[in-house]
Amino acid sequence: MERGYSNKERAAVSTGVEKLDNCLGGKGLRLGRVHEIINTGSTDAKDASSLGFAVALLVRILNVTNYNKRVLWCSGKKKVLNSQLSATGLYWLGFDPNQLIQANVLSEMDQYWVMEECLKCSELAAVVIELAHAKPQFNNRESIVWRRLQLAAESSGVTGFVLRSCANIMETTSSIPESRWGVKPIPSNDWRPMWKLELLKSRNGRHALVNVVWDPATSSFSLLS
């Protein structure tokens, strides 16, 4: 833990949006790292935007890496009643639900434990956890946990995503995640989901704000004209 993060080059997945890829270092979202996605919209759908964006990124990752690998998705006790992802919804976003392993645990620390252990498994493509509390609580204990997650991801090459419900992002000051995203829904004129994406934090310190549309048919993002 004391040695910090490795500087060795990791594979990356292009978002398909040049502005975002440039802010992420030129190649896109780095694999083998832990990223944070925050729902910044205040809608009745609650976590739909952050969840949908995470699924879209998973589709991009699976397309580039290995279609045979699976994704583990873990929810906490406060999300048990609505944590079952819709197979139809996943298909609609371009994700094969047969590649998903779902888990529910009793506490947030259990979620962190599940994520750390699964990040060590190179047979997985990615690990996702949905944290129950709304606001990030970056204390010394959680900083240690995050560092352990990053080291596990770095060692195996498995990518991690931490999803949060949080309309106020002013307190998200931790520098630990590889990247932090704010996601807000945009009304769509057709069947494709549209989001206002804000790259709040990147390893190189660059930021971006773009409106994008996700096309499940081509598994790609594009800028809204």
Segment 74-127, tens digit of pLDDT: 987 655 445 568 899 999 999 999 999 999 888 888 999 999 999 999 999 999
Of 44, 52, 65, residue with least CA distance to 197: 52
Segment 170-176 mean pLDDT? 54
Q: Give the type of residue at 195.
A: W
Token pair for 71: 């994704």
Domain assignment of residue 60, yes or no: yes
Unique residue bearing structure tokens 């978002």: 15
- Count of C-beta atoms within a 10 Å radius of residue 190: 8
The yes-or-no verdict on residue 184 having pLDDT over 60 is yes
3-state secondary structure (DSSP) of residue 137:
coil
pTM of the entire predicted model = 0.88
Domain assignment of residue 18, yes or no: no
- When divided into structural domains, the chain yields a total of 1
pLDDT computed for residue 114 by the predictor: 95
CA distances to 37, 98, 192 from 201, rounded to whole Å, are: 11, 32, 26
pLDDT computed for residue 33 by the predictor: 95
Domain assignment of residue 20, yes or no: no
Domain assignment of residue 203, yes or no: yes
Chain segment 15-52, per-residue pLDDT in tens: 989 999 999 988 899 999 999 999 887 655 556 888 99
Q: Distance between CA 109 and CA 94 in Å, rounded?
A: 31
Domain assignment of residue 9, yes or no: no
The CATH code of the domain that includes 158 is 3.40.50.300
Mean pLDDT of the chain: 83
Domain assignment of residue 23, yes or no: no
Contacts of residues 76-82 at CB distance under 8 Å and 24 or more positions apart, as own/partner, are 76/104, 76/105, 76/106, 76/107, 76/108, 76/110, 76/111, 76/129, 76/130, 76/131, 76/132, 77/104, 77/105, 77/106, 77/107, 77/132, 78/132, 79/104, 79/130, 79/132, 80/104
Domain assignment of residue 120, yes or no: yes
pLDDT computed for residue 7 by the predictor: 45
Domain assignment of residue 70, yes or no: yes
**Contact by Cβ (8 Å): 63, 93:** no
Can you give the residue range of the structural domain that contains 126? 32-223
pLDDT computed for residue 4 by the predictor: 46
